[in-house]
Structure 1
């Protein structure tokens, strides 16, 4: 059966639909002899006659063997058509994309990326997974947002933006303008658990002989900000974490002096992997969204 071609089955289906070899040839744009050749090849492969040919004006009819062949043949033709449509949609940017992310990107950047993707490709299938580990599973997704560049030749990267650390404080806790790190010595502070970026923040404090008093730790950004709003303490967070909290009247945002090293946001993907059009477009949109976010951050009052 490996010699049966889809064009032979398509010819057989056209003959069954039209009732004659001549009308099938006209529908398919073939000569009648080509149609006859297709059926001859098909009958040789399946080992029997697939059409009864009564002659004259009477329509041709499927033989019992022909009915079996065409029943499966139409399934194959339908699947082939479905595959053709799926490939065309894939090339046009539809299909599936798996994206890895982490909390602040999920809250601020990624919704804008997804909205743009879905506006351009309403039929696309977007799957998200959140990972806060230092070694995210880049090989299990098409794209991975991460807060550092991973070394190794098997991972490609695109730097999206620098994300500066700022002091988030209850309104009135500090005078307007930049705040000296030394002012935070023994000051009450709300912080993340000592994972991900937090060790870098605490190393920065230690390097400057500053020892804040950590009064609460929470993994959730909203929980940290809620405690700052309550007056429990201040927090040192990357600006991207703030989102709408950057204009919250209960909070004040301050640059730090000296300025801590900035967090860097990257988009990662497995090197050598052929990217779908949807993945390529997601990278372009992420770069645009990140650039706009950086511009807004630069424009915000301190």
Structure 2
């Protein structure tokens, strides 16, 4: 049974060329084919249509489109236009200047790393649509990558996994936030010891968050028994409570506003192992060039904020 599904773009291009140039010979010259090749392409198109698309008068007179040929010509032009548009779109995507990029992120990366990264992406490739999906559940960030719901994700301390490609962006040290007028904050050494932290009221985040669990594990490993009087989801809320004199907080440096005059940033003695900030993708997944550009910008931006 005849069907236009059996026609391909070469047949449609031959139809348009014959209609525009008038003869099979002129169409062949324009397309760079032999006249017999164009004749074969039109014959294959007519088999797909189930009827002639040209009346072929004898002599030098040009081929004439049949009524069905006129209908197919309109379809051919629209189809070839859409193919050209798709070619343009694919070339743009391959050059990394268009497309959609979905990035998973967590709170402190969103606040400190992403503004510069996204701003530079918009300057360099404004047609790339960067979508962000934030959660402080690091396990969820990994699941979304493995399920292809996100293309890239910022993570912390993810162990080697053959399913993931992991790029280290840098290391983020842990510090103590103290009210600016606290006795420890006024000392010249700017250090909080484990003994002092054991005597202090601490402000943290909910202990069901993976980030807070990392902090708790490091504190316990350093001989610090954290006593949290207040817990807040938001980093800014934790810092605000410290500023108000309600206690101190142990936080990664990326999560704090060090320019806040109401707080003082102290080092921890003994030092806690820094957290490793990473950018991950699923192993074996082909991403748009824009994803590689995003990763390059992320590395450059992180170099200004994180230790190597």
Q: CA deviation at 1:60?
A: 4.5
Q: Structure 1: where are the runs of 5+ without partners?
A: none
Aligned with 2:245: secondary structure?
coil
Q: CA deviation at 1:255?
A: 0.9
* 2:124 maps to 1:120: yes
Aligned with 2:101: secondary structure?
strand
* 2:103 maps to 1:91: no
* 2:17 maps to 1:14: yes
2:293 corresponds to which residue? 281
Query: When the two structures are superposed, what TM-score results if normalisation uses the length of structure 1?
Result: 0.86
1:217 corresponds to which residue? 231
Q: CA deviation at 1:213?
A: 4.1
Q: Structure 2: where are the runs of 5+ without partners?
A: none
2:51 corresponds to which residue? 48
For 1:1-302, list aligned pairs within 5 A: 1=3, 2-21=5-24, 24-30=27-33, 32-53=35-56, 60-93=63-96, 94-136=98-140, 137=143, 138-139=145-146, 140-173=149-182, 174=185, 175-176=187-188, 177-194=190-207, 195-242=209-256, 245-294=257-306
- Tell me if structure 2 keeps the 8 A contact 1:186–1:212: no
- Tell me if structure 1 keeps the 8 A contact 2:222–2:272: no
CA distance in 2, matches of 1:68, 1:154: 52
CA distance in 2, matches of 1:38, 1:201: 70
Q: How many residues align?
A: 294
1:97-149 CA-to-partner distances (Å, cap 9, x unmatched) read 11111111111112222222222211112222112224232222211111121
Q: CA deviation at 1:59?
A: 5.8
The 1:14–1:169 alpha-carbon spacing in structure 2 relative to 1, beyond 3 Å, is same
Q: CA deviation at 1:250?
A: 1.7
1:200-248 CA-to-partner distances (Å, cap 9, x unmatched) read 3233444444445423210111111111222222211000112xx1122
- Tell me if structure 2 keeps the 8 A contact 1:168–1:235: yes
Comparing 228-237 with 217-226, greater Cα deviation is found at 228-237
CA distance in 2, matches of 1:202, 1:149: 17
1:172-199 CA-to-partner distances (Å, cap 9, x unmatched) read 3122422212112232221111121222
Q: CA deviation at 1:276?
A: 2.2
CA distance in 1, matches of 2:78, 2:301: 45
Q: CA deviation at 1:71?
A: 3.2
The 1:277–1:207 alpha-carbon spacing in structure 2 relative to 1, beyond 3 Å, is closer
- Tell me if structure 2 keeps the 8 A contact 1:50–1:66: yes
CA distance in 1, matches of 2:127, 2:255: 31
Q: CA deviation at 1:272?
A: 1.5
